[in-house]
Amino acid sequence: MIENPSDESSNRVSTSDDIEVGTYLEIAQADRISGSKPPIDDRMKTIVIIDFGSQYSRLIARRIREANTYCEIVAHDAGSEILENQDVIGVIFSGGPNSVYEEGAPMAPTWVYDSGVPILGICYGMQLLAHQLGGVVARGTEREYGHAVVHKDGSDNVLFEGLDNEAPVWMSHGDRIEELPPGFRSMAYTENSPLAVMGNEDGSYFGIQFHPEVVHTPQGAEILKNFVFGVCKAPGDWTPANFVSDAVERIKERVGDGKVICALSGGVDSTVAAALIHRAIGDRLTCIFVDNGLMRKGEAERVQNVFASQLGVNLIFVDGTERFLSAL
């Protein structure tokens, strides 16, 4: 292990204790996962999040998982394989930077509508739902960004079940729905958005113009739960332990009696991958970590300490600092 340089000549920036390796260390340690390890179900009840380029797609996923419901994020042009791989019980359209009426704007694939599962559109996702189902979306007279107050339009509103008639929300949009699709009705409004929430008569398609996934919408998590449980009828029995157990079993099945080499960067993806593989096959995993000299101060040493000392992973450390820096 290389000693941590402490002289002022080092150009590396010191790191805090919350770098990726430290943050995800507990994910790698089985005993720290709370709850039992339920039996593996090859087809989990799943909420699919269609990503249209939103910066909040992963935050939507986090909110769904916090509601003890499994979800996956797929691209807007993804095929329908997810319907075969999982028991899809609902779909969420994310926000996005485009306008649905522009040429080349991303559209939802037809398999989503053909699947017959409930759909919730958020911001761009709401406008897209309206656009593809026969409504009219146009540029708003003024952009709505920041805090707003949404008012329930009538009492029959499953998304707002248990919530106040007025709720603070976070808006970020420049377009608005001018005409609802056939079979839809307004369910809530704000001062600048007469159609802030919409739903169809069947109670299966919904759209909300604001962002329930951000903390600036205080009751947003409850709105998402109302969709997940009230509309999609999710059982709410999923935990991270389900995912870990499932992943470990799949790795065991695929690797068999073989061995695995894992390129380790110390970042989120390779850290979690290495932890799961190590749990599945133990010493048959060898990780290779290359210090390219461009990492933060002390990070290379910490990676070695976490994986070799704390987790007991076979780790090959390569000091490539001089080679990489001399090539710049």
pLDDT of residue 23: 42
pLDDT tier for residue 44 given thresholds of 50, 70 and 90: confident
| pLDDT reading at 251 higher than 60 | yes
* Cβ pair 100, 175 in contact under 8 A: yes
| pLDDT reading at 50 higher than 90 | yes
| pLDDT reading at 38 higher than 70 | no
Q: Which residues neighbour 153 within 8 Å (Cβ) at sequence distance 6 or greater?
A: 186, 187, 188, 189, 197
pLDDT of residue 142: 66
Residue 173 falls in the annotated catalytic set:
no
In 3D space, the residue among 105, 100, 97, 95 whose CA is nearest the CA of residue 125 turns out to be 95
| pLDDT reading at 21 higher than 80 | no
| pLDDT reading at 7 higher than 80 | no
124-133: string of b/e by CB count within 10 Å (b at 16+)?
bbbbbbbbbb
Q: Which residues neighbour 213 within 8 Å (Cβ) at sequence distance 6 or greater?
A: 56, 59, 60, 62, 63, 122, 220, 224
- Domains plus CATH for the chain? 20-32+241-326 (3.40.50.620), 45-231 (3.40.50.880)
pLDDT of residue 144: 65
| pLDDT reading at 9 higher than 60 | no
pLDDT tier for residue 22 given thresholds of 50, 70 and 90: very low
Strand order across the beta sheet in which 314-319 lies: 260-264, 285-291, 314-319
* Cβ pair 171, 149 in contact under 8 A: no
pLDDT of residue 310: 79
Residue 123 falls in the annotated catalytic set:
yes
pLDDT of residue 28: 46
Q: Three-class SS of residue 55? A: coil
Cα 64 to Cα 323: distance, rounded to the nearest angstrom? 45
Distances (CA, A) of 23 to 122, 138, 272, 294: 30, 44, 11, 20
pLDDT tier for residue 42 given thresholds of 50, 70 and 90: low
pLDDT of residue 163: 87
pLDDT of residue 271: 86
Residue 262 falls in the annotated catalytic set:
no
Average pLDDT for 62-73: 94
* Cβ pair 263, 303 in contact under 8 A: no
pLDDT of residue 265: 86
Average pLDDT for 26-35: 42
Query: What digits encode the pLDDT tens for the residues 281-327?
Result: 999 999 999 999 888 888 888 888 888 877 888 999 999 999 999 99
Cα 241 to Cα 180: distance, rounded to the nearest angstrom? 42
Average pLDDT for 196-207: 94
In 3D space, the residue among 219, 137, 222, 202 whose CA is nearest the CA of residue 173 turns out to be 137
Catalytic residue among 76, 131, 173, 211: 211
Q: What is the mean pLDDT of the chain?
A: 84
pLDDT of residue 2: 34
Average pLDDT for 209-232: 94
Query: What digits encode the pLDDT tens for the residues 75-107?
Result: 999 999 999 989 999 999 999 989 999 899 999
Query: What digits encode the pLDDT tens for the residues 134-179?
Result: 999 887 666 667 788 888 887 678 999 988 888 889 887 668 888 9
pLDDT of residue 64: 96
Give ∠ CA 111-112-114 in degrees, rounded to 5: 60
Catalytic residue among 213, 262, 287, 299: 213
pTM value surpassing 0.85: no
**Residues of the chain with pLDDT > 70: what percent?**
84
Catalytic residue among 123, 232, 262, 287: 123
Q: Which residues make beta-bridge pairs with 175?
A: 139
* Cβ pair 311, 285 in contact under 8 A: no
pLDDT of residue 140: 67
| pLDDT reading at 180 higher than 80 | yes
Q: How many residues does the chain have?
A: 328
